[in-house]
Amino acid sequence: MDEELLELQRFEFAQQAKSSIRLSERNVVELVQKFQELQIIDFDLLHAVSGKEYITPEQLRLEILAEKKKLGRVSLIDLADIIGVDLYHVEKQAQLVVSDDLTLMLVQGEIISHSYWDFVAEEINERLQECSQIALAELAAQLNIGTELVTIVLEPRLGTIVKGRLEGGQLYTPIYVACVGAIVRGAARGVTVPTNLAVLWNSLQQLLQEMDGATGVAVDGSFFQSLFNGLLKDGEILGSLRAGVHWTPAVFAHAQKECVDSFFSQV
């Protein structure tokens, strides 16, 4: 019994004793490479930038998803720094991550989730309701993306998350659209002679800038034109339009016809 107890104590001491043989990091790297050559390690390993670690592609994808989950948006350059892997490997695995998940997109070197865009759209809508109008260029600068991407993100969310109308690089609230529409209708009905609409739109731009003050966004002429075309189609204004800009109001054509008829009736 004493011998067995002594043997157990020796075994315990052996377990607690520190090994005097240690492998250097270089030895470990060489050992892993040898295992790969012998196909003992038969799966891919990616070398960390530090040269002291390996990571599997699967683990890299998991870490990419974990970083994306924090904010819903992460750049590939930041991922390479955080995970400590060469940017080439991050880009390659990021493409696989995005291709496997339809709720993600890879754009301008960033992985961005649809839920992130929903959150951004909610913030844009809150601001829009306060300001009545926002320029897409301003939103693009704040989000550090291109205006084309802002348009792509906003269009499917208009009328749902974002209560507004997108026109000529500007975002407007329905109330603002109705207000400007009423101004366009009044201005068009007030025209009694053939007019170049571009001149009329310039006058309305100045009017709106005076109304909105320094905080207002310059309204593009295409916005006025779009509203005008809608009013003309609905029959709220009457007349003829040539080349898209030359407007002849019905009242002028009617007065001209009466004048001609009156002249010939006196002959």
Q: 101-104 long-range contacts, Cβ below 8 Å, gap at least 24?
A: 104/68
Domain boundaries, the chain: 46-101, 115-172, 192-266
Whole-number pLDDT of residue 174 = 93
pLDDT tens track for 47-63: 677 767 778 889 999 99
> How far is residue 247's CA from residue 241's CA, in Å, rounded to a whole number?
5
- Residue type, position 33, single letter: Q
pLDDT tens track for 120-130: 999 999 999 99
Q: Model-level pTM greater than 0.75?
A: no
Asked whether the beta carbons of 159 and 173 are under 8 A apart, the reply is no
Whole-number pLDDT of residue 222 = 87
Average pLDDT over residues 91-109: 94
Encoding tokens for residue 264?
A: 């010939």
Greater confidence (14 vs 105) lies with 105
Pick the CATH number of 115-172 from 3.40.50, 1.10.10, 1.10.8, 3.40.190: 1.10.10
- Residue type, position 53, single letter: E
pLDDT tens track for 161-186: 999 999 888 999 999 999 999 999 99
Burial class (CB in 10 A: 0-12, 13-18, 19+), 71: exposed
Instruction: Map 91-116 to HEC letters.
Output: HHHHHHHHHHCCCEEEECCEEEEHHH
Average pLDDT over residues 57-73: 93
pLDDT higher than 60, residue 160: yes
> How far is residue 247's CA from residue 192's CA, in Å, rounded to a whole number?
10
